[in-house]
Amino acid sequence: MGYRALVEYDGTAYQGFQRQRRGLTIQGQLESAIEAVTRQAVNVSGAGRTDSGVHAKGQVIAFEVSWRHGCRALERALNANLPEDIAVRDLDEAAAGFHPRFSARSRAYEYTIYTSPVRQPLQRFRAWYVPRPMDLTPMNQAAEAIVGRHDFATFGQPPQGDSTEREIFVAKWRQIEEVLTFEIEANAFLYRMVRSLVGSMKLVGEGRWTVTDFVAALAKRDRSQAAQTAPPQGLCLTAVYY
């Protein structure tokens, strides 16, 4: 039987989602838990290969296993065998042919920055600390410039193939007190694309780049034109749409 589920995790202690030869990964922990419960070795597929230190609350996984006790019992058993920083939610049977990555229509991420004049230790694994205020208006103007289909070669590398074109459906910043959150949804993403966009938009918010500078960097389709890549802890995979 094929199963699909939502997975939420704190990525701080892991070398990303995808299984690696060395180091803990989300995929590895999920496969170990499934094997412990079912006594069957499985391969877990994920919708997004999040990097080391990146979090998720809307990761989607799929796997095939023989199990006769129902979805809720399997969900409870997996969570009992997973570490506290990973949880499986909404586990159900998967439709025939479903693949969490290749069946996806789009994915959504959020990136969080906080701008307190003093560091907030509880935020250190959840957000990028920037000790100065930023202007959200030009940051949103830069975000508007990337909506639609563009070549994003300046801001990332393709995980496979050569195409660096992607279509952005939503890109916007919002602010609540000292916390700035960037929301982005696209049909697909380049490697480190969101973090690279955030690093460049940060310069816009600080007044070190203009919106024109940002748009010019995008148009050059040259990876060397991007600013600093934002650190991983502020990034979270929030949803996958099918």
Give DSSP secondary structure letters for 134-160. Answer: --HHHHHHHHHHT-EEEE-GGG-B-SS
* DSSP single-letter state for residue 199: H
Cβ contact 186:134 at 8 Å:
no
Helices (H), the chain: 26-38, 71-81, 136-145, 193-206, 211-220
Residues 6+ apart with CB under 8 A from 160: none
Residue 65 main-chain phi, psi, to 5 deg? -160, 155
Cβ contact 201:180 at 8 Å:
no
Which residues are identified as catalytic?
51
